[in-house]
Amino acid sequence: MKRFALKFYAVVALILPFVCYYNWKVAPRVSGDLGLLNLVPYGQEYSSLNVNDMIDEQRDSLCATQIHDVREIPDYPVITLGDSFSNQGLYSYPHFLGRDHGFKVGNLERSSFYMPVQDYLSLLNAGAFRAGQTVVVEIVEHYYVWRLCWLDFESTDYAELCPINHGKWEKDLLSETARWVRLSIGYNNPVRKFTLNKDCFSHPTRSRELYVYREEMGFLQMTDEYVSRALDNLDRLFRLSEEKGINLIFLICADKYDSYEPWIEGKHPQNHILDPLPKDDRIVVMTPYIRELVAAGVKDVYQINDGHASTIGAARCAEVVAEAINKTAPGQP
């Protein structure tokens, strides 16, 4: 019994310092969706810097109506439909599209928000849109090929329209400490870190550190066959939209990795899956526009602790989308 007690207290003595350090030094400073994934203490104060100073959460109203009923879709000249980039509320490009460019925007919220292209196609087949509408279908860069490849052009089965549940972090001290230790030694980390050759973020100690989702490196497994199939399906999607009188804008939001790739130090892979896209006013690729801002010295176009653009990037996206709408559907209210 005494031997067991000694072993027990030895284990506790070994674990306790890690638990205490994580609980008092790391956990209180975890912020952003990348912070939650890899438990890096970026600091809560970073989110209060001027990366989001275009928004006053206490006074501003969302300028894109969240649509949860298919019957409401025809009421809006401009419909936005996308993954997490479209569903950031006050911090999303649909909000700025309404606030800064005067469009009456309805954003479709769905319970499953990672299949926006199929959802659009299924809603189109179901007759949910009216002729004359502009629909902006948004997909993040590293998903665009996969989502286009496997489209079902006969489906009318779309994801349910309902408010998205943005869950809160449920803290479990022991399991989170174990996860922090595991991620700290680099085992099975869903986040990759790169070093930049200039200050791209206003974080006081991590201004040259780039954190991205590991899944953004999926282009390394991409084949020409998949890209070709995706582009064929995109062309078919445009033709079907035209037949039904819908002005489709296909928006590809920039991956964080690709946005900062020209400034990454050392040997690293380059992403070429966007190169075969045709030049078309209906196809909006945000990567070059985001890079322009970074090249001009604008900091925090993306947030260091988050996989999404800041209000700077979201507002620029809205500007580019507005230009596309004005070119493809002049006079769109």
Q: Is the dihedral of CA 203, 252, 161, 63 positive or negative?
A: positive
* Per-position DSSP letters for 29-67, written without gaps between them: G--HHHHHHH-----GGGGGSGGGTT--TTT---SSEEE
Boundaries of every domain in the chain: 2-328
List alpha helices for the chain, DSSP H. Answer: 2-21, 32-38, 93-101, 116-125, 144-149, 173-184, 224-243, 256-260, 287-295, 311-328
In 3-state terms, what secondary structure has residue 2?
A: helix
d(CA 92, CA 308): 9
Give the chain's mean pLDDT. Answer: 87
Instruction: Quote the pLDDT of residue 11.
Output: 46
Q: What is the pLDDT of residues 284-297, one digit of tens each?
A: 999 999 999 999 99
What is the residue type of 28? P
Instruction: Quote the pLDDT of residue 44.
Output: 79
Short-list 73, 119, 300, CA closest to 204: 300
Higher pLDDT pick, 307 / 166: 307
HEC profile of 255-296? CHHHHHHHHECCCCCCCCCCCCCCCCCCEEECHHHHHHHHHC
Both tokens of residue 11? 């284990």
Instruction: For the chain, give the percent of residues with pLDDT over 70.
Output: 85
How many other C-beta atoms can be found within 10 angstroms of the C-beta atom of residue 92?
25
Pair 68, 162: CB distance under 8 Å: yes
CA geometry: angle at 20 spanning 15 and 24, to 5°?
155
Q: What is the pLDDT of residues 181-204, one digit of tens each?
A: 676 777 778 898 999 999 999 988
pLDDT confidence of 6, banded at 50, 70, 90?
Answer: very low
Indicate if the pLDDT at residue 8 is higher than 50: no
User: What one-character DSSP code corresponds to residue 161?
Assistant: B
In 3-state terms, what secondary structure has residue 202?
A: coil
Q: Which residues contact 288 (CB under 8 A, 6 or more apart)?
A: none
User: What one-character DSSP code corresponds to residue 98?
Assistant: H
pLDDT confidence of 333, banded at 50, 70, 90?
Answer: low
First to last CA, the chain: 79
Q: What is the pLDDT of residues 92-149, one digit of tens each?
A: 999 999 999 999 999 998 876 679 999 999 999 999 999 999 999 999 999 999 999 9
Give the global pTM.
0.90
Residue 205 vs residues 47, 168, 201: alpha-carbon distances, Å: 14, 27, 10
Instruction: Quote the pLDDT of residue 180.
Output: 63
